Amino acid sequence: LDDIIERCPDYPLERQRLYRDQGCWIDETFGAMLRRLSAEHGPREALVEGNLRLSYTELDQRVDGLARGLRRLGIERGDRVVIQLPNRHEFVVACFALFRLGALPVFALPAHRRFEVEHFCRAATAKALLICDKDAGFDYRAMARDVRLTVPTLKQVIVCGEAQEFTAFDDLLEHEGEPVEDVPSAHDLAFFQLSGGTTGVPKLIPRRHDDYHYSLRESNRACAVTLDTVYLVALPIAHNFPMSSPGFLGVLLGGGRLVIAPRPSPDECFALIERERVTMTSLVPPLAMLWLDSAPHAQADLSSLDILQVGGAKLVSEAARRVAPALGCRLQQVFGMAEGLVNYTGLDDPIELINTTQGQPMSELDEVLVVDDDDQPIPPGGVGHLITRGPYTIPGYFVAPAEGDEPEGAHNQRAFTHDGFYRTGDRVQMTPDGYLIVEGRDKDQINRGGEKVAAEEVENQLLAHDNVHDVAVVAMPDPYLGERVCAFVVPRGETPKPMVLARFLRDRGLAHYKVPERFEFLEAFPQTGVGKISKKALRQTLKAHWFASE
Ligand code: J2J
């Protein structure tokens, strides 16, 4: 555990003091929070999934039941547990059970496949993996079998549903027993979120109870969460947005009610909105557009819906303007990141501001700078790099042991300034009243409708193919997803078929959303002045193609 703690950079002492003095960081862990909520809201409903309804007290008891079972299985303070579950209540139960034990969840997404999950297990030296049996046609147990063979620290696989040779989640629920004592302190590590990634492999983002707790409280204020809030969890529950902005954790903290949707489709979600009188939900832009298109034909009564949050990728203003008329609710734009900083438009802001900006930092203690290439602040109104530090923005990624010729910690040196500002990789403009407009990106990443794809990760995979001499992965504009993944390939020998390359990547266990949807073959790459591949030139070719075909 000491080694893990050492590898997670902590905030400098004077900022720790500041954030405590200012009342940002308080002395409550998530385990203690749930215990308090159970005392305060006892019989009120906390969570609904299908026909299952759990009150705050029942949720708290179930969490203790699982914590006892996990303890018996040998899960202790500081142990890392990779969780990969679709939207179901066991996710919530497992989070709190691990929080109470002081074990550290690592949040994988259901769309991740063997390659990613193996990386998370290895990077975090995980002791256990929590999955479901099957979902959306994919058997997670088969994947876990492979991962187990290659990650020696992985001692336990826990399965929701048919466990086969593994440990069944339900068997771990020990209904009888003493309440489980909450192990961690408020400034301890709570879990690892995953970075969207800009490099070969996704980075682990260490979050602490106190910094995340603060982000929930500020979110609840910005989103006006109350006891009457009914929040539909439609996006993948493990993502930072539906977890914390205000997400399921914020809404529980506020004493509201969660409705867990297995899938974000309009059909399923509209029915749930009517049945449960949902007041609020969050979506990525392509889903928001899908909902907007479906709403006019909807049979369901959507009148309870008050707030639709949209974030994760840029929402174009034309779509933003359609929200109120089509869904009869208010729009809130959310520009956040798992590393910390979250911006919201105000619920009662002027409609133009809501439709055309990505909001303002939620905390007065967020330090947000728009800078040029030399980290010098640029005059207001200009477009520049967004850098930030504050009471809930990490001071550094988990420092993985050195691999290859990169020195240990090199990634943090690049991603943070000398005085601890996180380089978001986003290009923004700040309006005179302090609202941010996302104008683009410096990081080598594709944002596929909220799903982040690191170009380098896909490039490395493609380079492993015999008929690939060189490759550059870039974003291509797309009216629905905003961007899709495109690979430019310089072949070696015979030019491979696009289908063969796509298949190759899936067989290597890469998440399907990362697999390029278009391949272009070139004899050589356009180069920049210094002889590097010019991705800018490649992107321009795509733009030219796209507009030509419109
Ligand atoms: C443009 N780009 C956006 C937006 C995120 C709340 C909401 C979203 C995330 C998230 C999150 C954007 N317009 N409205 O964690 O708590 C892009 C930026 C950003 C990156 C972060 C939350 N909202 N983005 O999306 O860690 O490029 O978090 O740096 O997945 O998504 O991605 P992620």
Q: Is 107 a pocket residue for ligand 1 (Cβ < 6 Å)? A: no
- Report the separation in Å between the CA atom of 528 and the middle of ligand 1, taken as the mean of its atom positions: 29
Q: How far apart, in whole angstroms, are the C-alpha atoms of residue 99 and residue 85?
A: 17
* Amino acid letter, residue 492: R
Read off the pLDDT band of 547 (50, 70, 90).
Answer: low
Name residue 332's beta-bridge partners. Answer: 309
Residue 343 Cβ < 6 Å to ligand 1: no
Phi-psi label, residue 184: left if phi above 0, alpha if psi -120 to 50, beta otherwise: beta
Distance CA 17, CA 11 (A): 10
pLDDT score of 75 more than 90: yes
Distance 108 CA to ligand 1 centre (A): 17
Centre of ligand 1 to C-alpha 129, Å, is: 26
Instruction: Using the mean position of ligand 1's atoms as its centre, give its distance from the Cα of residue 361 in Å.
Output: 13
Which one-letter amino acid corresponds to residue 286? P
Residue 543: pLDDT over 80: no
Q: Which atom of ligand 1 is nearest to the CA of 310?
A: 14
Of 84 and 199, the one with more pLDDT:
84
| Ligand 1 lined by 160 (C-beta under 6 Å) | no
Token pair listed for 267? 């059909």
Ligand 1 and 389: CB distance under 6 A:
no
Please give the C-alpha separations between residue 293 and each of 8, 161, 286, 301, in angstroms, as whole numbers.
44, 35, 11, 16
The reply to whether ligand 1 has any atom less than 6 angstroms from the CB of 335 is yes
CA 396 / ligand 1 centre spacing (Å):
18
Kindly give the distance from the C-alpha atom of residue 148 to the centroid of ligand 1, in angstroms, as a whole number: 32
pLDDT at 116 over 70: yes
Summarize pLDDT for 138-189 with one digit per residue, the tens: 999 999 999 999 999 999 999 999 999 999 999 999 999 999 999 999 999 9
Q: What is the pLDDT of residue 545?
A: 67
Check residue 550 and give its pLDDT: 42
Q: Give yes or no for a contact between 247 and 92, defined as CB atoms under 8 angstroms apart.
A: no
Beta pairing class for 330-337 and 204-208: unpaired
Q: Is 332 in the pocket of ligand 1 (CB under 6 A)?
A: no
For the Cβ of 445 lying below 6 angstroms from any atom of ligand 1, the answer is no
CA of 340 to the centre of ligand 1 (A): 10
Q: What residue's CA is closest to ligand 1, atom 15?
A: 337
pLDDT, residue 400, reads 87
Sheet with strand 482-491: strands edge to edge: 468-478, 482-491, 518-521
Q: Which atom of ligand 1 is nearest to the CA of 426?
A: 27
Query: Residue 289: exposed, middle, or buried by beta-carbon count in 10 A (0-12, 13-18, 19+)?
Result: buried
Q: Are 42 and 57 in contact (CB under 8 A)?
A: yes
Q: Cβ atoms within 10 A of the Cβ of 186, count?
A: 18
Distance of CA 385 to the CA centre of its chain: 22
Least confident among 68-77, 101-110, 191-200, 385-394: 191-200
- For residue 3, the CA-to-ligand 1 centroid distance in Å is 30
Q: What is the DSSP string of 423-463?
A: EEEEEEEE-TTS-EEEEEE-SSEEEETTEEEEHHHHHHHHH
Ligand 1 pocket, residue 314 CB under 6 Å? yes
| Residues above pLDDT 90, as percent of the chain | 91
Q: What's the 439 CA to ligand 1 centre distance in angstroms? A: 13
Q: Compute, in angstroms, the gap from residue 140 CA to the centroid of ligand 1.
A: 27
Residue 193, ligand 1, Cβ within 6 A: no
Indicate whether residue 454 lines ligand 1 (CB < 6 A).
no
Q: How far is the CA of 312 from the centre of ligand 1 (A)?
A: 4
Q: Is 336 in the pocket of ligand 1 (CB under 6 A)?
A: yes
Q: Which of 219, 287, 337 to mutate to test the pocket of ligand 1 (most atoms within 8 A of CB)?
A: 337
Compute the distance between CA of residue 348 and CA of residue 233 in angstroms, rounded to an integer.
23
DSSP collapsed to 3 states, 366-430: CEEEEECCCCCECCCCCEEEEEEECCCCCCCCCCCCCCCCCCCCHHHHHHECCCCCEEEEEEEEE
Q: What is the pLDDT of residues 397-407, one digit of tens each?
A: 999 888 777 88
Token representation of residue 222: 């910005």
Indicate the SS3 state at residue 99. Answer: helix
Q: Determine whether the shortest distance from the Cβ of 342 to ligand 1 is under 6 A.
A: yes
For residues 21-44, give the mean pLDDT. 98
C-beta of residue 55 within 8 angstroms of C-beta of residue 70: no
- Residue 546, pLDDT > 70, answer no
Beta bridge partners of 426: 441
| Average pLDDT rounded to a whole number, residues 216-222 | 98
Q: Around 421, how many Cα atoms within 13 Å sit in the side-chain half-sphere?
A: 18
Q: How many CA atoms lie within 13 A of 190 on its CB side?
A: 23
pLDDT band at 200 (very low <50, low <70, confident <90, very high): confident
Sequence-ordered list of residues with C-beta below 8 angstroms from that of 343, at least 6 positions apart, any chain: 334, 335, 336, 358, 359, 360, 361, 362, 436
Q: Round to whole Å and give the CA distance between 509 and 118.
A: 9
Q: Whose CA is nearest to atom 5 of ligand 1?
A: 312
**Nearest-CA residue for atom 3 of ligand 1:** 313
Nearest CA to ligand 1 atom 33: 337
249 lines ligand 1 (CB under 6 A): no
Domains along the sequence of the chain with CATH:
28-184 (3.40.50.980), 225-443 (3.40.50.12780), 445-549 (3.30.300.30)
Mean predicted confidence (pLDDT) in 85-102: 98
**Residue 540: which of 482, 501, 488, 491 has the closest Cα?**
488
Mark out the alpha helices in 223-280 (DSSP H runs).
240-244, 247-253, 266-276
Per-residue pLDDT at 21 exceeds 50: yes
User: Cα dihedral angle (370, 376, 381, 384), rounded to 10 degrees?
Assistant: -50
The CA 261 to ligand 1 mean position distance, Å, reads 21
pLDDT level of residue 513 (50, 70, 90 thresholds): very high
- Choosing from 334, 335, 421, 445 the residue with most ligand 1 atoms within 8 A of its CB, the one to mutate for a pocket test is 335
Q: Is 250 in the pocket of ligand 1 (CB under 6 A)?
A: no
DSSP states along 267-330: HHHHHHHHHHT--EEEE-HHHHHHHHHHGGG--S--TT--EEEEESSPPPHHHHHHHHHHHSSE
Per-residue pLDDT of 258-298, as tens digits, reads 999 999 999 999 999 999 999 999 999 999 999 999 999 99
ipTM greater than cut 0.90: yes
Does residue 393's CB lie within 6 angstroms of at least one atom of ligand 1?
no
The average confidence (pLDDT) of the chain is 96
3-state SS class at 175:
coil
* SS3 of the chain: helix, strand, coil, percent, to 5: 35, 25, 40
Q: Is the pLDDT of residue 198 over 90?
A: no
pLDDT classification of 548: cutoffs 50, 70, 90: low
